Amino acid sequence: MSLKFTPQTQNARILSVGAYRPPRVVPNSEIVGRIDSTDEWIQQRTGIVSRHFASADESLIDMAEKSAHIAIARAGLTAEDIDAVIFATISYPYQAPSAATELLVRLGNTKAAAFDISAACAGFCYGVALANDLVRNKTAKNVLVMGAEKLSDFTDPDDRATAFIFADGAGSVVIGPSDEIGIGPTVWGASAETREAIVLEPSYLEYKNNPGKLDLGWPNINQQGQTVFRWAVYEIAPIALRALEAAGLTPETLDVFIPHQANDRIIESLVKSMKLPESVVVAHDIRTSGNTSSASIPLAMDALLAEKPELHGKSALLIGFGAGLVYAGQVVELPNKPKTK
């Protein structure tokens, strides 16, 4: 038997980016009381000065919807033009159906292909890799890649290792056809032997199998900070350099570096290990956004383009890394100035 398939190919790029940060700004002073810490200690350890938390009645999808509307409008498109949605998140509180399909309903386009991916802080870059291949192969025309998290729902405010790190927000891009190559090759993989370094537990089944056992607690993110720091700094730098090389660039010819905003100390160490020259603009959105997992890279991208509009159309190295442990990186051309506001 022979199946019919006519290979087609085209170039793809990021057409636009959209960001939504919940209005409630939470300074370190609001966090420190429950973890016997100080503003100075948190800033020194993580670079974080403040972060945004969604309100109790503001859902993950509320945030994602606002981000998506901005990204779609900036691409000069409408929701009907989106024919696939890839939603990267670890904080959607349902196993099924997906966050992506709830977003479709909100966007008023219920017919597009839609699915979620679970790659934690690497989720956005995994999504960009998939969207690029979908558009290049003409499986889809315009793909919305969403990174959104409401991590305040899954963070223990009494945990001295995580309470000050995680935060809420939604960032998205539209990836569509392009005359030129706008997204370089993705370098990705895992260090799954270290998968216990960041876990969200207990599982649903532990509640089912231990009815009434109150000390199970709510499922929260647990993180072995030193293990993650060591991996993030010493394993990720060479991977990021491989993604740069795969796109035909060098540290000297790169314009912008947007790593996952995990911890400012990790970002500073990556810049040092990779020997990036001072000419490279580095995203430090973590200082006022905290670690928003899958949302951190598009949020940081949006903030940089708002602050420095001259960066539109420039080259940016993206690298996501996190629970799994998993990673993905690629060089992209940042979106051009929006066609509409």
Partner 1 sequence: MALTVDVVLAGIKEIVVEVAGIDAGIIAMDKKFTDDLDVDSLSMVEVVVAAEEKFGVKIPDEEVTKMATVGDAVNFIVANGK
Report, in Å, the least distance between residue 195 CB and partner 1: 14
Q: b/e per residue, 91-106, with b = 16+ CB within 10 A? A: bbeeeeebbbbbbbeb
| Contact positions with partner 1 (CB under 8 A) in 89-108 | none
Q: Which is nearer to partner 1, 11 or 269 (CB)?
A: 269
Nearer Cβ to partner 1 (44/210): 44
Alpha helices (H) in 257-295, listed in sequence order: 264-273, 286-289
Closest CB to partner 1 among residues 207, 234: 234
Contact between residue 60 and residue 150 where contact means Cβ atoms under 8 Å apart: yes
Q: Is 11 one of the catalytic residues?
A: no
CB of 228 to partner 1, least distance (A): 10
Please tell me the count of residues contacting partner 1 according to CB under 8 A: 13
Which residue's CB is nearer to partner 1, number 24 or number 265?
265
Interface of this chain with partner 1, residues 213 to 232, rule: CB under 8 A: 224-227, 229-230
Question: Does residue 191 touch partner 1 according to CB under 8 A?
Answer: no
How many CB atoms neighbour CB 226 within 10 A?
A: 10
Residues present in the chain in total: 341
d(C-alpha 270, C-alpha 264), whole Å: 10
Q: Is 291 a catalytic residue?
A: yes
Cα(257)–Cα(278) distance, rounded to whole angstroms?
Answer: 11
Quote the CA–CA distance of 282 and 256 in Å, as a whole number.
6
Measured CA distances, 276 to 167, 226, 238, 282 (Å):
28, 24, 12, 9
Q: Tell me, yes or no, if 52 is annotated catalytic.
A: no
Active-site residue identified among 52, 121, 220, 263 = 121
Return the residues of window 261-300 that contact partner 1 according to CB under 8 A. 263, 265, 269
Contact residues for partner 1, defined by CB under 8 A: 44-45, 224-227, 229-230, 233-234, 263, 265, 269
Active site residues: 121, 260, 291
